[in-house]
Structure 1
Amino acid sequence: MNHKRWRVVPAIIATAIMSFAGVLIETSMNVTFPTLMAEFNTTSATIQWVTTSYLLALAIVIPLSTFLVRNFSIKTLFITANLLFALGVLLDFLSPSLLVLVLGRIIQGVGTGIALPLMFDIILNYAPKSKRGLMMGIATMTTSLAPAIGPTYGGLMLSLFDWRRIFLFLLPFLVLSLFLGVDGIGYESHKRGEPFNFISFLCLAIGLSTLLLAIENLSWFLGLISLISFGFFYRFNRNKPILNLTIFKNSQFVTGLFGVLAIQATVLGLSFILPNYLQLRLHVSAALSGLFMFPGAILVAVLAPLSGIIMDRFGPYRPIVLGLMLMFIGMLLTTVYFSRASFMALLMFDVVLMMGVGFAASNLMAVALSQLTKSEQTDGNGILNTLQQFVGAMSTTIVASLFSTFQGTTGGNLGVLLLLIVLTVASVLFMFKGRQMRI
């Protein structure tokens, strides 16, 4: 590819801003759910589609990343993604109804779904291998930091202005991202011009959508449709694959992938349940419930690149296991003392958990992708990001459904926390199994 190394940094920053903005809105809207429920006169199970629709759009679009990168220039893809995201933001700022709000979120999901894999693709293909851990740490810092900062940002906007300003104030950053991307990403001349496997993509989209709906509505019929759709996807994907499923034969990649997905489910699940619990049960203001996540966000911002440097020097095992153990301790304390913990106690438990996220998340992603050959890494990046976003959507759907069913009661919240702690324990066990993974 025709590129200059000095362009890597602005290119990564440009895509990181978009990825950060997408995830920031995702979790900042969680704080607004009680307000949106009152404004649109609906339930939390319905309102959660403001977040779930975005995540579902991400999960459907990201599998196309391999096809898109092979057939279009990175600059063209980035500009398209940026303009789509800006359109979705404007639509949500002006939205007169819940339906239009969800439509805007879907358009934002399409834009972020194109941009997010580009960030990791640039790192994997252009960043020096000796700096890959650091670069992945910085990149993952943006996607790990945003879920924690989101509730703080959303709470402040809701207290000072209204929920619509959450979208409006992101527009200057999108303009900055556009300028950095145009400057940092060069045009590429050689693209394959492969035919698009539309049938395979359609089956995958139907499978992901109906699975999410089946979980939300506890519908065996929708679950059956999802299963059949995935079966057809597997059948049609073999001839002209949009996702290279053979990489799942690599057990070390699967081990790292499981850890990444478990962290995603835990962080997004907590980012939904804790701010809403604080508002509805402890009667904390929206601004304060948003600020609850801020200390953990700062720790992730500091520890993600630092843990990448540690991995570059000493290998991945130590920082990842340390991170997963801290997550386990934080989740255990939250679960055991949840019903009688004060605001400050819950805050300290969250800080411990987010320290673990800072040590483990970016390193697990770097390790998982490093188990693949150079030719497989673009496919691995697409699969990892697809599953990461879909698991995020599924986690949000499950947590929102339980929260709505039990009306935010302590018992219902404890059920969610126990589910998340099981995921954390499983991650630790999987990491011990994959101790010999290389980087």
Structure 2
Amino acid sequence: MKEKKIHLTMAVLATGIMSFAGVLIETAMNVTFPTLIKQFGISTGTVQWVTTIYLLVIAIMVPLANFLLKNMTLRRLFFIANVIFILGIVTDFLAFNFPILLLGRILQGVSTGIALPLMFHIILKYSPLKMRGTMMGLGTLTTSIAPAIGPTYGGILTSALSWHYIFIFLVPVLLLSLVLGLIAIPDLPIEKSGKLDLVSLLGLALLFSGSLIFLNQIGSWLSIIPLAVGILGLVIFYRQATHTKEPLVSLKILKNSAFRTFLLAFLVCQFLLLGVSFVLPNFVQIVLGKDAFVAGLMMFPGATVGALLAPISGRMLDQFGPKKPILIGLALAAIGWTGLTIILRAPILLGLVAGHVFYMIGIGFAYSNLMTSGMSQIDDADFGDGNTIFNTLQQFAGAVATAIVATIINFVQNHQADLISGTILGSQLALAFLLVLLLLVFVAVWREFQRQKK
């Protein structure tokens, strides 16, 4: 009897398409925020929950997916995730108010929270070591293409039809993913292991939701309540992780300083990616008076460059090692980000596009290689926990970045004489804050490479 084998490239593509659809919607919806604010009568701080709640659900689902991967076949898990995603996009296509829109985003978050760790699990378990950088680049490419076309896709549909169509047009894409996945992923037998640590999952839910609500309400005395909830969640999760025989996620790999450094740098890059995708489309519409289509189109060149560089940078890592592509990438990203921050004071559309392209060249070289390098610091037996930590914190970092920049901009808008001046200053302060984080991790990564050399 012929042994069933997974078709690696097709399986990565199938799971990547699901992740692609999730990121596409995420970036496509960013250009609709001014429209949603008017349609539903909500504030900048409220509308960001379209992105934040989606990322929050992913952050909670990824650790749960780590358990599901040990107790459910890849084929069944893939099928369930795909069906939930289709249900989510149909819900949002039919959404007639803001809460229904958020419900659809929650369902999409559940699906993407399964698809992302599933994709990286397949890469790390089934790809040969000499191809790991290339395959990680391919996996990252599927999700990196989405920010390239997402804002333009969202801008065109919002201007020509309605934001609802951002969702329904993705049904054929999800069906393609379903067909590819069912062909590529056989029903391989598994040895079920472990039991679900519901207390840890509760702790994570309290930690992430409390932290994000606190950031959204910061400045109000009521923000003390979600802050306390977040701290309680952290205590519960940490206690379970350190005192339970079979924790939801083992934290022992965080004792590895090299793993921590690459993880931190990766999360800061995620901060920047989500922060700029919130700031620029809204800035172009509010300050420059452009429509959603132009706001989306101006993000296209930079995101395309970043996406195309993902597999190339992975191949560079396989051939030359991680030091050059990562350090060069972080340096270029810092230069481009500095340019963007300065240009916002006297904005010219082409100047914003150029700054974004330069920054994305750097991200293209560094982003996926940081994850590959971080995972290379740990033993194969710890890949499940490492994969979970990277993907969980990646989504949480994106949600935190969106909440922080929205809060900064919203605060400054409320304390300036007019909306335009408030948006300009608020956007500059948000980008400056993220620039400081980028410079700090550049130094940390450089020092880590120096330590490894010695």
Given the two structures, how large is their TM-score scaled by the length of structure 1? Answer: 0.97
- 1:437 CA displacement: 5.6
1:127 maps to 2:127: yes
**Is contact 2:286–2:423 with CA below 8 Å preserved after alignment?**
no
- Distance across 2 between alignment mates of 1:262 and 1:156: 30
1:413 maps to 2:413: no
1:225 maps to 2:256: no
Q: What SS does the corresponding residue of 2:344 show, helix, strand or coil?
A: helix
- Distance across 2 between alignment mates of 1:230 and 1:406: 30
1:429 maps to 2:429: no
Structural mapping, 1:227-306, within 5 Å: 227-237=231-241, 238-239=243-244, 240-306=246-312
* Partner amino acid, structure 2, of 1:391: A
Task: For residues 199-249 of structure 1, give each alpha carbon's deviation from its aligned partner in whole angstroms, at most 9, with x where no partner exists.
Answer: 121111111111111111121232122112211111123312111111100
**Is contact 1:91–1:104 with CA below 8 Å preserved after alignment?**
yes
- Distance across 2 between alignment mates of 1:427 and 1:141: 23
Unaligned runs of 5+ in 1: none
**Is contact 1:148–1:271 with CA below 8 Å preserved after alignment?**
no
Selected match of 1:373 from 373, 379, 399: 379
* Partner amino acid, structure 1, of 2:330: L
Select between 252-261 and 149-158 the one with higher mean Cα deviation: 149-158
Selected match of 2:369 from 348, 363, 373: 363
- 1:148 CA displacement: 3.5
- 1:57 CA displacement: 0.4
Task: For residues 45-88 of structure 1, give each alpha carbon's deviation from its aligned partner in whole angstroms, at most 9, with x where no partner exists.
Answer: 11111111100000010111221111111111110100001100
- 1:336 CA displacement: 2.1
* Partner amino acid, structure 1, of 2:87: L
Q: What SS does the corresponding residue of 1:340 show, helix, strand or coil?
A: coil
Q: Partner of 1:4 in structure 2? A: 5
**Is contact 2:206–2:232 with CA below 8 Å preserved after alignment?**
no
- Distance across 2 between alignment mates of 1:147 and 1:405: 27
- Distance across 1 between alignment mates of 2:404 and 2:145: 23
* Partner amino acid, structure 2, of 1:425: L
- Distance across 1 between alignment mates of 2:307 and 2:96: 36
* Partner amino acid, structure 2, of 1:307: S
- 1:370 CA displacement: 0.9
Q: Partner of 1:387 in structure 2? A: 393
Selected match of 1:309 from 301, 304, 315: 315
Q: What SS does the corresponding residue of 2:96 show, helix, strand or coil?
A: coil
- Distance across 2 between alignment mates of 1:319 and 1:106: 36
- Distance across 1 between alignment mates of 2:320 and 2:408: 42
1:176 maps to 2:176: yes
Select between 113-122 and 153-162 the one with higher mean Cα deviation: 153-162
Alignment RMSD (CA, Å) = 1.3
- Distance across 1 between alignment mates of 2:364 and 2:403: 25
- 1:3 CA displacement: 4.7
- Distance across 2 between alignment mates of 1:434 and 1:143: 28
Q: Partner of 2:418 in structure 1? A: none
- 1:195 CA displacement: 1.9
For the structure 1 residues 3 and 405, does the alpha-carbon distance in structure 2 shift closer, same or farther, using more than 3 Å as the test?
farther
* Partner amino acid, structure 1, of 2:369: N
Q: Partner of 2:187 in structure 1? A: 187
- 1:149 CA displacement: 2.4
For the structure 1 residues 313 and 134, does the alpha-carbon distance in structure 2 shift closer, same or farther, using more than 3 Å as the test?
same
1:399 maps to 2:405: yes
Q: What SS does the corresponding residue of 1:247 show, helix, strand or coil?
A: helix
**Is contact 2:11–2:180 with CA below 8 Å preserved after alignment?**
yes
**Is contact 1:147–1:267 with CA below 8 Å preserved after alignment?**
no
Q: Partner of 1:16 in structure 2? A: 16
- 1:141 CA displacement: 1.8
Task: For residues 8-28 of structure 1, give each alpha carbon's deviation from its aligned partner in whole angstroms, at most 9, with x where no partner exists.
Answer: 111100000000100110111
**Is contact 1:141–1:362 with CA below 8 Å preserved after alignment?**
no
Unaligned runs of 5+ in 2: 414-421
- Distance across 1 between alignment mates of 2:148 and 2:263: 22
- 1:193 CA displacement: 4.5
- 1:301 CA displacement: 2.3
Task: For residues 244-266 of structure 1, give each alpha carbon's deviation from its aligned partner in whole angstroms, at most 9, with x where no partner exists.
Answer: 11110011111110111001000
* Percentage of matched positions with identical amino acids: 45
1:200 maps to 2:200: yes
* Partner amino acid, structure 2, of 1:393: A
